[in-house]
C-alpha cells in the first residue's frame, strides 16, 4: 500500500506524457540558408539521376551510390566530367534495407539540383546538409520549378536568445528554375571572390 501511495501522484503525469507523446519522425538539423548551402558546396550541379546502386560496407551499413548526369554546372571546375557520383547512407539490398531519416534520396530519372562536397578521383560526393542539399526539379503548368527536399528533416535555427525555432530552409516555397539558377549564380559568383 505504501508503494501505491508514493506512485499515485505520478500516475497522472506519466499517463499524460505517454498519451500525448509523439514519436520522432525525422532528424533535427540546422536549417541552412541558400548562401550557406552554396558556401559549403564544392560543386553545385543540375542534372538527371541515371542510376542508383546500394552496397554493403565492411561495418555492416548499407550505402547507395547515385550517378547523376550533369546538365549544367553552377559551381565546380570539372568541365570534362559529364557525371557526378553522390553517396547516401541507407538503401536496399535484396530483402534488407536501411533508412536514415533526413538523408538525401534520389529516384532514377528525376532532375535534381545538388549541392555536394567532398569527392575526389576515387571518392563519391556527399550532399550538404543531408537532404537539404537536394532540390527537385518538376514541370508544373509548362514551367520548370525547383523545390527543396526536406523529407525526414526538422529544420531549426537558434534565435538571439539561444532558443531553437523552426526554419524552412534555403527554399521555403517552390520557385521557377530559371529565376532560382540566376539567383544561385549571383551567390556563387559573389562567393568565388572569397574563396
Q: How confident is the model at residue 79 (pLDDT cuts 50, 70, 90)?
A: low
How far is it, in rounded angstroms, from Cα 180 to Cα 185? 9
Torsion sign across C-alpha atoms 72, 181, 148, 163: positive
C-alpha cell at 72: 549544367
116, 84 in Cβ contact below 8 A?
yes
Distance CA 148, CA 153 (A): 11
pLDDT at 57 over 80: yes
Q: Are the beta carbons of 87 and 64 closer than 8 angstroms?
A: yes
Q: Which residues contact 32 (CB under 8 A, 6 or more apart)?
A: 40, 128, 129, 132, 169, 170
What are the residue ranges spanned by the domains of the chain?
25-192
Q: What is the pTM of this model?
A: 0.83
What is the CATH T-level fold of the domain 25-192, as seen in this structure?
OB fold (Dihydrolipoamide Acetyltransferase, E2P) (2.40.50)
Residue found under cell 518538376: 138
Q: Which residue in this structure is represented by grid cell 569527392? A: 119
pLDDT tens digit sequence for 133-170: 999 999 989 999 999 988 889 999 999 999 999 999 99
Whole-number average pLDDT of the chain: 87
Nearest to 83 by CA among 55, 53, 43, 131: 43
Amino acid at each position: 500500500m505504501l508503494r501505491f501511495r508514493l506512485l499515485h501522484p505520478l500516475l497522472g503525469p506519466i499517463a499524460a506524457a505517454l498519451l500525448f507523446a509523439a514519436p520522432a519522425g525525422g532528424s533535427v538539423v540546422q536549417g541552412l540558408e541558400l548562401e550557406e548551402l552554396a558556401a559549403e558546396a564544392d560543386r553545385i550541379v543540375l542534372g538527371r539521376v541515371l542510376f542508383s546502386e546500394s552496397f554493403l560496407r565492411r561495418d555492416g551499413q548499407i550505402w547507395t551510390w547515385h550517378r547523376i548526369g550533369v546538365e549544367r554546372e553552377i559551381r565546380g571546375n570539372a568541365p570534362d566530367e559529364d557525371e557526378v557520383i553522390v553517396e547516401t547512407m541507407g538503401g536496399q539490398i535484396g530483402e534488407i534495407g536501411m533508412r536514415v531519416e533526413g538523408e538525401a534520396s534520389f529516384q532514377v530519372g528525376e532532375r535534381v539540383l545538388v549541392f555536394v562536397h567532398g569527392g575526389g578521383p576515387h571518392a563519391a560526393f556527399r550532399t550538404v546538409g543531408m537532404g537539404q542539399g537536394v532540390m527537385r526539379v518538376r514541370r508544373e503548368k509548362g514551367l520548370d520549378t525547383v523545390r527543396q527536399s526536406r523529407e525526414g528533416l526538422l529544420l531549426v535555427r537558434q534565435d538571439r536568445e539561444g532558443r531553437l525555432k523552426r526554419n524552412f530552409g534555403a527554399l521555403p516555397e517552390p520557385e521557377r528554375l530559371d529565376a532560382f539558377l540566376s539567383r544561385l549564380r549571383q551567390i556563387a559568383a559573389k562567393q568565388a571572390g572569397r574563396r
